[in-house]
């Protein structure tokens, strides 16, 4: 891209640049980024293709395309991600909320809860969504990363739940007290072998601490399995997100720690996505 040019020409050049990185979604992503660079919704882009880009728009679009050529995730470039029909702030300090995690939201909303604990909250997308859906619920969100908690607090404010949500810096349960009738956790669970094979979009740009604990990926489940019962109210529930091949292993870990009848919950693609634990009265 050089000199004064129309949005259509800039788009065509951007598509070529992204295709050179073997990006299968080059055309779609180039359009998404162009709409953002122009400050218009994607649906309005078609009516903007004949306009001549100014210097600021050209520079912004060039910067975005260069970032994507370097495999930075679209959500980080845009600074946002849609999740459960809401828009969340996303930065390199937090995981990009995945559609797979909407399985946890659906499962949580299947039953009553009034007090929620989110372990390793990251962007806060999970607990903020739950509190936004249940106007009487309150929650505690913890994370070891102050930067992640800052992002989560922004998302809580954005969606009007700040007054009902406390944030606390904590290494898992270290700074947690009280009882909760819903505990949710999407822990790092990618094992060493899978980490080596991850796409650069994830491996090189998202926080490693939130993705993998190393070794077999099950360390967090082992660490928490024997502790959570003390924080769970009668008839309370725990929802752990898991890797789609980890269901049997996580269930076995929970049973070894005395949890009766852990249940596996499948995602929309039919893969094991959650382990559900229930505390008896």
158-217 tens-digit pLDDT: 999 999 999 999 999 999 999 999 999 999 888 888 888 888 888 888 888 788 777 788
8 Å CB contact between 11 and 34: yes
Q: What percent of the chain has pLDDT over 70?
A: 98
pTM of the model: 0.92
Domain assignments of the chain as residue spans, ordered by start = 7-70, 78-278
Query: Could you tell me the two tokens for 95?
Result: 């995981």
What sign has the CA pseudo-torsion 58, 63, 68, 73?
negative
- Banded model confidence at residue 253, pLDDT cuts 50, 70, 90: very high
pLDDT of the residue at 203: 87
Helix (H) or strand (E) holding 103: helix 102-108
Our CA angle for 35, 75, 90, nearest 5°, is 125
Give the separation between CA 250 and CA 243, rounded to whole angstroms.
10
**Domain covering 78-278 assigned CATH 1.20.120.1200 in the classification:** no
Q: What is the pLDDT of residues 80-117, one digit of tens each?
A: 999 999 999 999 999 999 999 999 999 999 999 999 99
């Amino acid at each position: 891209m050089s000199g004064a040019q129309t949005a259509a020409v800039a788009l065509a050049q951007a598509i070529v640049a992204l295709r050179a990185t073997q990006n299968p979604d080059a055309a779609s992503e180039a359009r998404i980024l162009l709409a953002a660079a122009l400050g218009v919704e994607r649906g309005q882009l078609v009516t903007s293709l004949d306009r001549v880009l100014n210097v600021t728009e050209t520079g912004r679009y060039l910067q975005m395309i260069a970032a994507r050529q370097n495999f930075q995730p679209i959500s980080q470039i845009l600074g946002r991600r849609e999740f459960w029909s809401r828009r969340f702030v996303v930065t390199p300090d937090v995981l990009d909320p995945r559609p797979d995690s909407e399985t946890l939201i659906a499962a949580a909303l299947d039953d009553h809860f009034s007090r929620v604990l989110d372990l390793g909250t990251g962007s806060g997308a999970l607990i903020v969504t739950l509190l936004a859906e249940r106007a009487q619920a309150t929650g505690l969100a913890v994370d070891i990363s102050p930067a992640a908690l800052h992002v989560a607090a922004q998302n809580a404010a954005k969606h009007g739940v700040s007054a009902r949500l406390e944030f606390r810096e904590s290494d898992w349960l270290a700074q947690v007290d009280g009882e909760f009738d819903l505990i949710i956790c999407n822990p790092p669970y990618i094992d060493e072998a899978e980490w080596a094979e991850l796409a650069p979009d994830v491996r090189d740009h998202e926080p490693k601490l939130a993705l993998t604990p190393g070794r077999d990926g099950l360390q967090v489940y082992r660490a928490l399995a024997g502790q959570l019962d003390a924080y769970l109210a009668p008839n309370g529930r725990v929802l752990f997100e898991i890797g789609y091949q980890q269901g049997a292993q996580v269930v076995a870990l929970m049973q070894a720690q005395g949890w009766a009848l852990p249940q596996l919950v499948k995602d929309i693609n039919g893969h094991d996505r959650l382990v559900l634990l229930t505390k008896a009265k």
